[in-house]
C-alpha cells in the first residue's frame, strides 16, 4: 500500500457500515460522502428548475395563443385553466421529482445516479413509500426555509426574530455535518441514509453460460433450481444478491448462501458459495426477465 493511497483507504473504511437485513444477512455499505450528496442535489436542482422553466415558457406560449387577458382585466376561462395547470404542475414537479425517482428500483434521482449514490433503508430492508415521503417533505425545513430566513436577515428585515429563526433553521441545514453518517434530518426521521452505489458491472462469470448452467467450482456437478425454488425471491432480492457478488466479501457471501439454502430447503454445505450464488443469480434473473415478457412482475419475495 503506497503512502498516497493510505489516507483515501482510511477515509473509505471510516464510512463503511455493516447492516443486518430483516433476513439476518449482514451486508456491507459505504456511506456517501457529503461532497457527493451536495453535487447530486445541485445537479437535481438544475434538472428540476430547467424543466420548470421550460414548462413556464410553454404555458406562457399557450396562454398567448388563448387570448391572454380580457379588456376588463379578468382572465378568460382557457387562461384560468392554463394558470391552474401551471401551478399544479409546479407543485408536482417540486415535490414529485425526488419521490418519483427514489421510489424506483434504483432508489436514486438522476443526480444521485451520476454521483454514484442512492437512498437506502438503514435497517437493510426495502425502501418504503412512507420513508421516501417523510425524507422529502422535510426538504423545505432543511433547505428552502433556511435560505429564505438568511436572505431576510441580510436585508435587515425582521430584526432579532429573523436572526433567531435563521440560526434555528440553519441547524437543520447543517445537520449532515453533526453526525458521522452525513444524514439529513429527513433521513433521521425516515430511517434512511444515502450510500454509495458505484457503477460497476458484474464479473464476467456471472453472465456466462457456465454460471447460468450452475456449474460447481469444486465438484463436477451442476446447480439447477426449479421454478418453485426461484419463485421465493423477486427483483429486490436479485439486486441484493447482485451487490453481494459485486462486493465479493466472503463473509457476506457465506451468510447469503446459507439464507437462500434455508429458504429453498437445501443443505448449505461449505466451500462453493460463489458458484452457488452465481448460478442462483443467473437463473433467477433469467426467470424474472422471462416472466416480465409475459406481463408478470415480482418486485420482492412478498409479491
123 in Cβ contact with 191 (< 8 Å): yes
Mean pLDDT of 218-226: 72
Do the strands 26-30 and 16-20 form a parallel or antiparallel pair, or are they unpaired?
antiparallel
Lowest mean pLDDT among 35-44, 58-67, 79-88, 164-173: 58-67
In the block, residue with C-alpha cell 385553466: 81
The more confident residue out of 144 and 206 is 144
Average pLDDT, the chain: 78
DSSP-assigned states of every residue in 166-190: HHHHHHHHTGGGGSTT---HHHHHH
In the block, residue with C-alpha cell 456437478: 221
Sketch the domain layout of the chain as residue ranges. Answer: 34-138+184-196, 204-288
* pLDDT band at residue 20 under the 50/70/90 scheme: confident
* pLDDT band at residue 40 under the 50/70/90 scheme: very high
pLDDT at position 145 over 90: no
Return phi, psi of residue 147, to 5°: -65, -40
In the block, residue with C-alpha cell 446447480: 223
pLDDT at position 239 over 70: yes
Bridge partners (DSSP) of residue 222 are 215
Predicted TM-score (pTM) of the model is 0.65
What count of other Cβ atoms lies within 10 Å of the Cβ of residue 244?
A: 22
Q: Which of 170, 139, 140 is nearest to 153 (CA)?
A: 170
Q: How many angstroms separate the CA atoms of 42 and 33, rounded?
A: 14
DSSP-assigned states of every residue in 85-98: HHHHHHHHHHHHHH
116 in Cβ contact with 129 (< 8 Å): no
Please give the pLDDT value at position 114.
Answer: 92
Q: How many angstroms separate the CA atoms of 103 and 69, rounded?
A: 41
264 in Cβ contact with 225 (< 8 Å): yes
Amino acid at each position: 500500500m503506497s503512502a498516497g493511497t493510505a489516507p483515501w483507504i482510511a477515509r473509505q473504511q471510516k464510512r463503511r457500515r455493516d447492516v443486518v437485513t430483516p433476513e439476518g444477512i449482514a451486508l456491507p455499505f459505504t456511506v456517501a460522502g457529503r461532497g457527493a450528496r451536495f453535487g447530486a442535489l445541485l445537479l437535481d436542482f438544475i434538472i428540476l428548475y430547467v424543466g420548470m422553466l421550460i414548462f413556464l415558457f410553454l404555458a406562457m406560449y399557450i396562454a398567448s395563443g388563448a387570448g391572454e387577458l380580457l379588456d376588463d382585466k379578468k382572465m378568460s376561462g382557457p387562461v384560468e385553466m392554463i394558470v391552474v395547470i401551471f401551478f399544479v404542475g409546479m407543485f408536482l414537479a417540486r415535490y414529485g421529482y425526488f419521490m418519483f425517482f427514489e421510489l424506483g428500483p434504483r432508489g436514486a434521482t438522476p443526480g444521485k445516479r451520476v454521483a454514484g449514490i442512492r437512498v437506502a433503508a438503514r435497517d437493510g430492508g426495502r425502501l418504503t413509500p412512507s420513508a421516501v415521503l417523510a425524507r422529502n417533505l422535510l426538504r423545505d425545513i432543511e433547505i428552502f426555509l433556511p435560505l429564505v430566513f438568511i436572505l431576510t436577515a441580510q436585508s435587515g428585515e425582521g430584526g432579532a426574530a429573523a436572526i433567531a429563526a435563521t440560526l434555528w433553521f440553519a441547524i437543520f441545514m447543517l445537520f449532515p455535518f453533526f453526525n458521522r453518517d452525513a444524514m439529513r434530518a429527513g433521513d433521521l426521521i425516515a430511517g434512511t441514509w444515502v450510500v454509495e452505489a458505484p457503477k460497476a458491472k458484474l464479473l464476467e462469470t456471472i453472465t456466462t453460460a457456465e454460471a447460468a448452467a450452475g456449474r460447481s467450482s469444486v465438484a463436477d456437478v451442476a446447480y439447477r433450481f426449479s421454478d418453485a425454488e426461484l419463485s421465493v425471491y423477486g427483483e429486490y432480492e436479485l439486486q441484493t444478491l447482485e451487490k453481494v457478488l459485486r462486493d465479493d466479501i466472503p463473509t457476506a457471501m457465506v451468510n447469503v448462501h446459507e439464507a437462500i439454502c434455508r429458504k429453498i430447503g437445501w443443505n448449505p454445505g461449505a466451500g462453493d458459495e460463489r458458484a452457488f450464488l452465481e448460478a442462483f443469480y443467473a437463473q433467477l434473473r433469467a426467470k424474472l426477465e422471462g416472466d416480465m415478457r409475459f406481463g408478470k412482475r415480482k418486485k420482492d419475495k412478498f409479491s
